């Protein structure tokens, strides 16, 4: 059984901090939201570790937006819908591509240093895009440039309080209303309560569920798990995108090799040195990510190899160093000169298309609670995200959710002095003798073996049964962030498996060996709520 709260607490004994708006997370979605919220009231931003510890910091490729004269909203819209494999919400996609252009103009005014070709902003192409529309900065350091600029703007706001090393454990709710969060202050080693008129979850994804991932260590699905425990609807969690190309070297992390590398002309080769992508898709190396990841997986299986190779050697050496300085230096530090050497690559868990179900204004089914960015699911990516639409989503929907939170609080001021939320006094067992780190290792092994690029009922059912056995560790008393993270990972892993078992077809990033074709019966979203599950056909978003 999944408990409502992970720890016991007595609100009367805990330090309470009050604010107008509470933002959890410091990636692009949280930063853009905070920047806009600070115009309307006091904002408190909480980060699990330091502000730079987020997926935005690792984003290399860029931001997709309609800038070029030969491009159009309609083309970007159609590319996104096609990549989404029938499950992208048309209204959400329309808002994304049309409002994205204005968000880019705002970034330029803030001073984001996008790379240039002459006086014009440079554009590149990535998989499944019909035009060159990807803006990038620092060659392959777009996320770092974006986060640095936005963070500087946010910190200049007098209405902002930034608290680092604060781990949000649970949402505080009553009568379908969110009043704030229970958190653990790693610096003070104490529990604290943050109360707010409106709470935003912008906590990123859950790539750490897998052994190989492009995500930072903080991506443990915390926002999804704590929302689910509070009765918030979650959606589309079976759709986990695997990036086709991450560095594969013994002893090295799965460093992301941007899709822009293939966009600039790099090719994929198998162990025999043969190009193979055109066997799997007419776009070759620029096939959609789900297709490319499966193709690499299948090629590795067919050749009994543990990687394939990305070949940039036909590109000019000076161009490689200038266009991809981060990748060049990272590979060089591992003994690879990518101007001369092939890069060994494998797919790795990269992005959650699913998450907390919201409308196109970021509202959830719990009053006062909002979500945006990778932790949210509004259908904008469907079953498979189009490359470089993630940072764009953070820009567009970060602003939209801020506007909605401001409107919401105009009519819903909380009287915190009269707030009464029942204390939690569940009977927890003493901390388990077994190291919870071994549970984390097992979760990663199970998810990698049976719930990754290709799945089937036998393996999924086995994993579901084992995760249910591990639920007993949700009822042990822990008091460290790393332990809480593993409890959250257990819950999110279970939700991913549950949704993957329900969807008896293959679509986008979800591929079932026992149901290898898409089915018109599954043009629907799987929505899960604690103690309840159902499917919704033709979801309506506002």
Q: Are 490 and 443 in contact (CB under 8 A)?
A: yes
Distance CA 138, CA 136 (A): 7
Q: Are 382 and 81 in contact (CB under 8 A)?
A: yes
The overall longest dimension of the chain from CA atoms, in Å, is: 71
What DSSP state is assigned to residue 411?
Answer: S
Helix or strand (DSSP H, E) at 160: strand 160-163
> CA end-to-end span of the chain, whole Å?
33
The answer to whether the Cα torsion of 360, 366, 370, 374 is positive or negative is negative
**H or E, element range at 356:** strand 355-357
Is the separation of the CB atoms in 130 and 399 below 8 Å? no
Q: Work out whether strand 524-529 and strand 234-235 pair parallel, antiparallel, or are unpaired.
A: antiparallel
Q: Phi then psi for 188, rounded to 5 degrees? A: -95, -10
Q: Sort 452 into a burial class: Cβ within 10 Å, 0-12 / 13-18 / 19+.
A: buried
| Helix-, strand-, coil-residue percentages of the chain, each rounded to 5 | 35, 20, 40
Q: Which residues are 242's β-sheet partners? A: 349
Identify the helix (H) or strand (E) that includes residue 371: strand 369-371
Is 357 within 8 Å of 234 (Cβ atoms)?
A: yes
Known active-site residue 289: yes
Among all chains, which residue has been given the structure tokens 């009050």? 18
Tokens encoding 149: 């600029």
C-alpha 73/C-alpha 95 separation (Å) is 10
Which class for 69: exposed (0-12), middle (13-18), buried (19 or more C-beta within 10 A)? exposed
The active-site residue, picked from 133, 262, 289, 455, is: 289
Collapsing DSSP to helix, strand or coil, 483 comes out as helix
- Which residues are known to be catalytic? 289
């Amino acid at each position: 059984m999944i408990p409502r709260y992970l720890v016991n607490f007595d609100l009367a004994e805990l330090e309470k901090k009050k604010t107008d708006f509470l933002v959890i997370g410091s990636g692009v979605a949280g930063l853009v939201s905070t920047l806009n919220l600070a115009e309307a009231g006091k904002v408190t931003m909480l980060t699990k570790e330091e502000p730079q510890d987020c997926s935005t910091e690792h984003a290399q490729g860029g931001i997709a937006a309609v800038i070029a004269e030969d491009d159009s909203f309609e083309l970007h819209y159609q590319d996104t819908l096609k990549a989404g494999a029938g499950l992208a919400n048309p209204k959400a996609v329309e808002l994304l591509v049309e409002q994205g252009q204005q968000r880019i103009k705002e970034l330029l005014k803030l001073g984001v240093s996008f790379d240039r070709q002459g006086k014009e902003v440079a554009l590149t192409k990535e998989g499944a895009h019909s035009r060159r529309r990807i803006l990038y900065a620092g060659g392959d350091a777009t996320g770092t440039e974006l986060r640095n600029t936005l963070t500087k703007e946010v910190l200049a706001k007098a209405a902002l309080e930034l608290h680092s090393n604060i781990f949000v454990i649970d949402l505080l709710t009553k009568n379908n209303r969110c009043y704030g969060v229970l958190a653990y202050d790693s610096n003070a080693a104490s529990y604290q309560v943050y109360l707010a008129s409106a709470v935003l979850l912008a906590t990123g994804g859950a790539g750490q569920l897998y052994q190989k991932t492009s995500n930072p260590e903080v991506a443990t699905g915390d926002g999804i798990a704590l929302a689910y425990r509070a009765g918030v609807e979650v959606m589309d969690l079976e759709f986990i995108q695997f990036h086709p190309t991450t560095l594969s070297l013994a002893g090295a992390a799965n460093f992301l090799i941007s899709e822009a590398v293939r966009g600039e002309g790099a090719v994929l080769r198998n162990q025999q040195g043969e190009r193979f992508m055109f066997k799997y898709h007419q776009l070759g190396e620029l096939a959609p990510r789900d297709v490319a990841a499966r193709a690499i997986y299948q090629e590795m299986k067919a050749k009994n190899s543990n990687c394939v190779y990305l070949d940039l050697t036909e590109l000019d050496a000076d161009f490689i160093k200038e266009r991809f300085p981060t990748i060049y230096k990272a590979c060089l530090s591992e003994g690879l000169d990518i101007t001369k050497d092939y890069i060994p690559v494998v797919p790795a868990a990269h992005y959650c298309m699913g998450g907390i179900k919201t409308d196109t204004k970021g509202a959830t089914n719990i009053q006062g609670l909002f979500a945006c960015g990778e932790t949210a699911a509004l259908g904008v990516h469907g079953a498979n995200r189009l490359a470089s639409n993630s940072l764009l989503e953070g820009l567009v929907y970060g602003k939209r959710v801020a506007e909605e939170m401001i409107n919401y609080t105009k009519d819903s001021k909380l009287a915190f002095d009269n707030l009464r939320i029942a204390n939690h006094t569940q009977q927890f067992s003493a901390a388990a003798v077994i190291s919870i780190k071994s549970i984390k290792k097992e979760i990663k092994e199970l998810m990698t073996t049976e719930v990754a690029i290709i799945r089937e009922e036998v393996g999924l059912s086995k994993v579901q049964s084992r995760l249910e056995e591990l639920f007993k560790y949700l009822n042990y008393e822990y008091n460290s962030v790393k332990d809480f993270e593993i409890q959250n990972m257990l819950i999110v892993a279970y939700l991913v498996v549950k949704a993957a078992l329900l969807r008896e077809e293959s679509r986008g990033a979800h591929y079932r060996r026992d149901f290898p074709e898409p089915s018109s019966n599954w043009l629907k979203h799987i929505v899960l709520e604690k103690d309840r599950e159902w499917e919704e056909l033709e979801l309506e978003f506002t």
